[in-house]
Amino acid sequence: MADAGMLRFHVPEPEVRPGGTPDFSNVTIPKAGSVPRPEIDVDPRTIRDMAFSIIRVLNRAGEAVGPWAGLLSDEELLEGLRHMMTLRTFDARMQMAQRQGKTSFYMQHLGEEAVSCAFRKALKPGDMNFPTYRQAGLLIADGYPMVSMMNQIYSNEADPLKGRQLPVMYSSKEHGFFSISGNLATQYIQAVGWAMASAISNDSRIAAAWIGDGSTAESDFHAALVFASTYKAPVVLNVVNNQWAISTFQGIARGGSGTFAARGLGFGIPSLRVDGNDYLAVHAVAKWAVERARANLGPTLVEYVTYRVGAHSTSDDPSAYRPKAESDAWPLGDPVIRLKNHLIQKGAWSEDRHTQAEAEILETVIAAQKEAESHGTLHAGGKPSTRDMFEGVYAEMPPHLRRQRQQAGV
């Protein structure tokens, strides 16, 4: 009891700073296949351990093992691989387009492709995601046209959102992708509310909420858990723990709770952790949670353990706050390489076919980019009209906006 009367303020510190040696010894990785798969109506009190473990399917040899394996056919896995590769190529091209001044801003998914691509395949048409900016895989895996995404990024004359949203903040009702809000954590309360409304109107569509590790510190996250647990809302509560919130390491938002999944336990919500770089594990856990929601068993909280390999956005430089080689030391590997190796090991894929697919995908993405650029980019070509700014928000435009529109002469 030293310093009696002297209060101390605690600020969690990351294990390592730039220039140091990356250290993930604090991330305990259970063996693939070692976590049991309970029935979906399991008593949450009996699976509390799952909030502290990591569900994994793909082992180091690329085999799919354990009770969460075996849900997807080779064709479905090959399709999943193609989606992840497409997202990665899309990201690389759009990152470059930002550096060329064709858009003001871009955000990549590098290393996190499995999370949104595999999750989408567990949903049915009509289900609604409330995504953040790092789930474009939900659109790619659902067949949303890349050209429309690029038009939005370029804010050009064919931008479906007519230049009124930040680049990468897509919106598609048909593809179950609710308009992205830049105000993080609002996705949680909105998803829970949407899910409750779906149940109140005796519908069969469920919702999925999305949040990053850092944003779980927002009070909206906790408020959403209160409503989701009390009313057993048909919702999947996704937390993407990519270790970083811009320059803030995950320990700040996690605090003393041990894991982000453990946050759900105090609310009596079944809470699982999954290897976010394992396409098969992500899909299997998502399916389990989606089935629970659809069977009126209430919410499930899923923490995807992954790593943000790239910068937070095109406005960020991670070398200022983490060692350059940190992503190489990340113990859960790369989602694309792991699924590729699995399919090769099964005899369903080969290095040659992979190289060929990379070339085909690049060609498809470049063709989409050419088409989008024919409609304009940030500083060249067609733009949405000023008039568009006033449309599509109010059913009846309030007088002050009508006046502004008149002043703008549109």
Ligand X SMILES: Cc1ncc(C[n+]2csc(CCOP(=O)(O)OP(=O)(O)O)c2C)c(N)n1
Name the site residues for Mg ion (rule: CB under 5 A): 212-213, 242, 245
Choose between 288 and 307: whose C-beta lies nearer to ligand X: 307
For every residue of 34-62, DSSP letters joined together read -S----TT--GGGGGGGGTS-B--B-TTS
Q: How far is CA 101 from CA 94, 372, 377, in A?
A: 10, 15, 9
Choose between 111 and 212: whose C-beta lies nearer to Mg ion: 212
Choose between 117 and 245: whose C-beta lies nearer to Mg ion: 245
Choose between 183 and 350: whose C-beta lies nearer to ligand X: 183
Q: Which one of residues 56, 134, 162, 354 is an interface residue with ligand X (CB under 6 A)? A: 134
**Which residue type does 183 have?**
N
Spatial separation of the C-alpha atoms in residues 145 and 115, rounded to whole Å: 20
Q: Which one of residues 246, 309, 348, 389 is an interface residue with ligand X (CB under 6 A)? A: 246
Spatial separation of the C-alpha atoms in residues 340 and 120, rounded to whole Å: 19
Q: Identify whether the C-beta of residue 68 lies closer than 8 Å to the C-beta of residue 285.
A: yes
Choose from Mg ion, ligand X, none: what does 183 bind? Cβ within 5-8 Å by kind.
ligand X
**Which residue type does 237 have?**
L
Region 185-214 residues binding ligand X, contact defined as CB under 6 A: 185, 212-214
**Which residue type does 305 have?**
V
> Minimal CB distance to ligand X: which residue?
212
Q: What six digits make up the tokens of 67?
A: 């009770």
Tell the burial category of 164 from Cβ atoms under 10 Å away from its Cβ (0-12, 13-18, 19+). middle
Q: How far is the CB of 250 from Mg ion (least distance, A)?
A: 7
> Minimal CB distance to Mg ion: which residue?
212
Interface with ligand X (CB under 6 A), residue total: 18
Q: Does 312 bind ligand X (CB under 6 A)?
A: yes
Choose between 72 and 245: whose C-beta lies nearer to Mg ion: 245
Treating both helix axes as pointing N-terminal to C-terminal, what angle do 74-99 and 279-294 enclose, rounded to 10 degrees? 110
| C-alpha torsion 269→270→273→276, nearest 10 | -90
Q: Does 244 bind ligand X (CB under 6 A)?
A: yes
Tokens 């075996």 belong to 70
Q: How far is the CB of 143 from ligand X (least distance, A)?
A: 24
Spatial separation of the C-alpha atoms in residues 293 and 300, rounded to whole Å: 8
217 DSSP assignment: G
**Quick one: which segment of 36-44, 178-186, 286-294, 331-339 binds ligand X (CB under 6 A)?**
178-186
Q: Which of 301, 290, 220 is nearest to 266 (CA)?
A: 301
Q: Does 252 bind ligand X (CB under 6 A)?
A: no
Q: Identify whether the C-beta of residue 176 lies closer than 8 Å to the C-beta of residue 123.
A: yes
Choose from Mg ion, ligand X, none: what does 182 bind? Cβ within 5-8 Å by kind.
ligand X
Q: Does 308 bind ligand X (CB under 6 A)?
A: yes
Choose between 182 and 266: whose C-beta lies nearer to ligand X: 182
Choose from Mg ion, ligand X, none: what does 383 bind? Cβ within 5-8 Å by kind.
none
What residues contact residue 399 under an 8 Å CB cut-off, 6+ apart? none
Q: How far is the CB of 53 from ligand X (least distance, A)?
A: 22
Q: How far is the CB of 290 from Mg ion (least distance, A)?
A: 23
Q: How far is the CB of 357 from ligand X (least distance, A)?
A: 27
Q: How far is the CB of 313 from ligand X (least distance, A)?
A: 8
Which residues of the shown chain bind ligand X in the complex (CB under 6 A)?
132, 134, 182-185, 212-215, 218, 240, 242, 244-246, 308, 312
